[in-house]
Amino acid sequence: MIFQRTIFFLFFMLAATTVIAQSATVIKASVDRSSILIGEPLQLTIEVQIAANEPIRFVSIDTIEHFEFLEKPRIDTADTDNGTTLKGIYKITSFDSGRWVIPSFNISGATKTDSIPVDVLFSAFNPAQEYHDIKDIIEVTPEQKKEWWWYAAGGGVLILLLILYLLRKRKPKPIVTTPAVIINPYEEAINNLRELNGDYADIKKYHSRLTDIFRLYIFRKKGILSLQKTTDDLVLQLKNLGISKVQYDQLAQSLRLGDFVKFAKYVPAEEDNRLAFETVKKTIDEIERLS
């Protein structure tokens, strides 16, 4: 009887450990080499394994000190038995020689990557190699002018005089000035939303267009440089607009949903698409009312 209880207890502990391991979110970062020459590309890979019972999310990287991005990151998503795996590949380089550290990236709480040291080196130089002598100035004998050059110059002058004569005979056309069209940011945004409403054929294009409409409106209405900001930076700056907290939270969730669709290939439900659309429209209406 004691032996059976011991077996049952060990089986229970093993099952609990397996469930905990499957529910944990894991993030890893790696590079394809530990040292590069100045300006040489380096591949940084960040992989996030998210359990099935947790929301889909990924790290947001804007800058890395002493490094520069060579191209936009490529983010792939794959479904596994334990949840979802997101892998981001970043092409970076550095023009600062020395030993630099790629910092750790945090996704939630204590879940973060290890920092990665990278050596940035100059090209190999052999001090024992002989120097090349400085060459003397080489004198060049000027070419003798040929008679045909005078004929070509004379023909060019005649053609130029003919062009000037024809231009003087033409009457100048009156200049028609078109008055500048003043764009109303609110009317433009509402018209764009009306055209976009319900167009779910390309869900990635739908959410990109929805986010762009809001960014363009807030730039023209409030002067916020929203087109160059990341979603997180834009959400922080929108706190000063005076909109209600409920509306602010819903807007932040809708904008981040657009990032998941564009970068993580997340496919939301039709109800989520409709709620994101309504949230953007209500936010624009509320900002217009407060203005």
Residue 24's pLDDT is what? Answer: 75
**Is 267 a domain residue?**
yes
Q: Is residue 254 a contact partner of residue 159, using CB atoms and an 8 Å limit?
A: no
Per the structure, the complete domain to which residue 246 belongs is given by 185-290
Task: Judge if pTM exceeds 0.75.
Answer: no
Looking at 106, 121, 136, the residue that finishes a domain is 121
Same domain, 117 and 199: no
Which residues face 125 on adjacent strands?
A: none
**Is 117 a domain residue?**
yes
Q: Is residue 116 a contact partner of residue 35, using CB atoms and an 8 Å limit?
A: no
- Secondary structure (3-state) at 78: strand
**Is 137 a domain residue?**
no
Residue 180's pLDDT is what? Answer: 54
Residue 62's pLDDT is what? Answer: 83
- Work out how many domains the chain is built from and give that number: 2
Using CA atoms, how far apart are residues 233 and 109, in angstroms rounded to an integer?
Answer: 20
**Is 227 a domain residue?**
yes
Same domain, 111 and 208: no
**Is 135 a domain residue?**
no
Read off the CATH number of the domain in which 44 is found: 2.60.40
Same domain, 6 and 104: yes
Residue 264's pLDDT is what? Answer: 75
**Is 152 a domain residue?**
no
Run means of pLDDT, 10 residues per run, the chain, 291 residues: 48 40 74 93 92 82 90 88 88 92 84 90 72 70 65 83 78 59 82 86 87 87 77 81 86 86 82 89 88 77
**Is 151 a domain residue?**
no
